[in-house]
Copies of this chain bind each other. A is one copy, B any other.
Amino acid sequence: MPTTTLTKTSFSIRDLAAEFDVTARTLRFYEQKGLLSPGRKGASRVYSIADRARLVLILRGKRVGFSLDEIGEMLDMEAITNQNPSALVDMLERFHERIDALNHQREDIDAAITELEAGRTWLEDRLAKREPSEEIKHRARAFEALAAARMNVWTGASPEPGSHDTTS
Contacts and interface: CB of A to CB of B under 8 A. Distances in A.
B120 A154 contact: no
Interface in A48-71: 49-50, 52-54, 56-57, 59-61, 63-65
B21 A88 contact: no
Interface string A15-41: 000011100000000000000000000
Contacts of A133: 81-82
The quantity of this chain's copies bound in the complex is 2
A42 interface: no
B116 A95 contact: yes
What DSSP secondary structure best describes chain A's contact surface?
A: helix
A133 B147 CA distance: 56
Contacts of A167: 21
B91 A123 contact: yes
Contact of A130 (B85, B120, B150): B85
A37 to B, nearest CB: 12
Given A78-B144, A119-B74, A152-B5, A21 B53 contact: no
